[in-house]
Amino acid sequence: MPSMRQIPVCKVSILSILLIALVLAGCTSPLDKDNTSGNTSSAIITSKNSVALANNHFARNMYVQLAGDPKYVGKNLFFSPFSLSSALAVTYEGARGTTADEIRSVCHFPNDTALLRDDFSQINAGINSGKDNSSLNTANALWGEKTYTFRTDYISTAERWYSVNATNLDFINQPEASRQTINRWVSTNTKDRINDLMPPGTVTPLTRLVITNAVYFKDVWAKQFKAEYTKDANFHVSPEKIVKVRMMKMSDKFPYAETANLQMLSLPYSSRSGNNLTMIILLPKSDSLAAAESALEPENLSRLERSALIQQVSVYFPKFRFDTQYLLRQPLTALGMPTAFKNAADFSGMDGSRNFSINDVIHNAFVNVDEEGTEAAAATAVVMVGAYPGEHEKPVPVFRADHPFVFLIKDNNTGAILFLGRVSNPTG
């Protein structure tokens, strides 16, 4: 009989920029000691910073799924691949068999479980290594039904490698109060930017476990835009549609690269908190986003970054702010992990049974870009329920982002893409 124990009650309080709230309303079946079954991923990553590389592959793939969804045609996109990867990593620790294989394949996790855990531990420690007033932090938590017993090795793995804190809640008798407790944690860890990650009804008496990860980011540009230079300007949403935006302006030296059909600009943050982050903007030279989206392939993006030269650039960049919410059951299924959403799901590494599957994956994100810098937050909830039946001197280039573009926020220490998005219309 596998060793099991109840989740101890713990107090959670941590700042963050990227929030992951993973909700499991159940658990699943008998388990091997580690996730070492066959890997179905076509891109097994085993090199240094394997989790960062895996995250970036996943980032591109999820972007493609969202960008191709009819619901989001012409709309802004913004999400946190690191939030999703982190949440799914804790979920993966409790998955076995085909369920584990599919999650690993979709997330591009390394086949070596020890490497996966060590990389996540180092990335999280790096994110949290800033000064006391750091504006980049991450936190993890488990929220368990107080009457339910979970495997000791699952809880201890989450605590040791993902710095998880655990708390007991009364999902059975007080599901609404439990939902509000988790949402308060999410709100606190995103500085009130994500306030209702889990809508009413997402926590029920069937909920057995909620896994949350929170990250919050706020920093100023290393070279700030001057507000007096910000003017109204046209933004070409499409050849047929133009909107007025507040366009920031600056001329200074930045890492810059361009190809026949694309411009890339890197805007570094001040790193005053001890972290080292950059916003990378991929601006196509035509009305189509295809060139920018193609550059999201990790190899293509790396090649672009290596080709960049620090040079004088006239920058025009719109101010923007928006919130997003996605239900990711369908995109994740399309990417190749359908079993986790079916009765056949095997999450036995959590409790020793095969009673639960993922009902849906909810992801909320927030971003605000202005003259001073950027603030961003994100949250993920994986909701699990009980099983149901069935380079010469050249003219100074002008980087005028007055048409749709793709942007990302990257941790330069690890290379991990923390946030990724598309601006189709800065006015929302």
pLDDT at 299: 92
> Taking all residues of the chain, what is their mean pLDDT, rounded to a whole number?
84
Q: Is the pLDDT score of 167 beyond 80?
A: yes
pLDDT at 273: 61
Q: What is the arithmetic mean of pLDDT over 80-102? A: 94
Q: Which CATH number fits domain 4-220+322-386: 3.40.50.80, 3.30.497.10, 1.20.120.80, 3.90.1150.10?
A: 3.30.497.10
Q: Is the pLDDT score of 397 beyond 50?
A: yes
Greatest extent of the chain over all pairs of C-alpha atoms, in Å = 72
d(CA 255, CA 304): 10
Domains of the chain, by residue range, sit at 4-220+322-386, 227-319+392-423
Q: Is the pLDDT score of 340 beyond 70?
A: yes
Q: For the segment 198-208, what is each residue's pLDDT rounded down to a tens digit?
A: 999 998 888 88
Strand partners, 257: 264
Question: Two tokens at 179?
Answer: 């939902």
Q: List phi, psi (to 5°) of 318.
A: -75, 145
pLDDT at 182: 92
Question: Two tokens at 366?
Answer: 């927030």
Q: Is the pLDDT score of 45 beyond 80?
A: no
pTM of the model: 0.84
Q: What's the topology of domain 227-319+392-423? A: Alpha-1-antitrypsin; domain 1 (2.30.39)
Q: Is the pLDDT score of 42 beyond 50?
A: no
Q: Is the pLDDT score of 22 beyond 60?
A: no
Q: What is the number of alpha carbons within 13 Å of residue 193 lying toward its C-beta?
A: 30
pLDDT at 281: 97
Q: Which residue has the higher pLDDT, 177 or 148?
A: 177
User: Per mean pLDDT, which range of 1-10, 21-30, 290-299 is the poorest?
Assistant: 21-30
pLDDT at 21: 31
